[in-house]
Chain A
């Protein structure tokens, strides 16, 4: 069994670009969630607060997971 070759720098750059696009989409989603929740809260609609907080946590966990993967490929670079 051969050891996995570490990513080349060009490959790492492509991976980081892809992850960055995904992270930006998630952050924009979180921004929308925050503004919509604030609007609903100030308008007296309290039913969306907890689901929105859960959705925001899921987005954060996805982002943290991607960041951990980034650190992983940093450690294994050539």
Chain B
């Protein structure tokens, strides 16, 4: 406190405003000159209430700086929360659009005799953006799967002799008979293409997606 701000002491003892042991100090002597929490002092020495708003967002004392950064981090987290909610609705919208498209149409893939045992053939189903692979695993058994790996959508390759389907990107392995993951990072089975046999022809009739 500078000398100009200090009031002159009143030497009279019987004053109502007097405090302290001796009764000689005026009450205003102990009054804080500014908020003790407010460590920030602006360059022009004026109180923070008179400073422009931007100065409050760029404090120069640590407690205020930490308060501001936590406050801004909280705002960012709420924005992230909004993004996650939008993501949820995006999934719901995708599901709605997919239902509007309806079921996949029956499509002829090949003749039963077109593939030898152990032979494979690629095709797209139900749209041209869905690559699939048809495998003849025995005399009377065929399997067909979507060719996108359930890990990161790399193209999987059948290894008929080993009874496996392999993803070369991250060494994921699927069981050829069931399409379930047996090794590597994939956790979901491959989508299975449902097959139907009519008059020696193989038809795709739908896609079965599975979580386990």
Residues of B within 8 A of A64 (CB): 78
Contact, CB under 8 Å: B211 / A39: yes
Residues of A within 8 A of B138 (CB): none
Contact of A20 (CB < 8 Å), options: B63, B77, B82, B88:
B77
Contact, CB under 8 Å: B95 / A20: no
Within 8 A of B (CB), among A31-70: 31, 33-34, 37-46, 49-50, 52-53, 56-57, 59-60, 63-64, 66-67, 70
Contact, CB under 8 Å: A60 / B67: no
**Chain B residue with the shortest CB-CB distance to A53:** B88
Residues of A within 8 A of B84 (CB): 27, 30-31, 33-34, 56, 60
Contact, CB under 8 Å: B188 / A63: no
Answer whether A13 and B67 are a contact pair too, CB < 8 Å, given A44-B211, A45-B211.
yes
Within 8 A of A (CB), among B52-87: 63-64, 66-67, 70-71, 73-75, 77-78, 80-82, 84-85, 87
Say yes or no for A78: interface residue by CB 8 A criterion.
yes
Say yes or no for B139: interface residue by CB 8 A criterion.
no
Interface size on A, residues (CB 8 A): 42
A59 to B81, CA, bound (A): 8
Within 8 A of B (CB), among A14-36: 16-17, 19-20, 23-24, 26-27, 30-31, 33-34
Min CB gap A32→B, angstroms: 10
Q: Dominant SS at the B interface?
A: helix
Say yes or no for B208: interface residue by CB 8 A criterion.
yes
Interface size on B, residues (CB 8 A): 35
Residues of A within 8 A of B191 (CB): 44
Say yes or no for B147: interface residue by CB 8 A criterion.
no
**Chain B residue with the shortest CB-CB distance to A24:** B77
Contact, CB under 8 Å: A52 / B88: yes
Contact of A42 (CB < 8 Å), options: B75, B77, B81, B150:
B150
A–B Cβ pairs within 8 angstroms, 20 of them = A10-B63, A16-B70, A26-B81, A30-B84, A34-B87, A34-B91, A37-B91, A39-B211, A41-B94, A42-B150, A44-B208, A44-B209, A49-B91, A53-B89, A53-B91, A56-B88, A63-B81, A67-B74, A70-B71, A74-B71
Known: A20-B70, A23-B78. 7 other contacts (CB 8 A): A10-B63, A13-B66, A16-B71, A41-B91, A41-B95, A42-B209, A59-B85
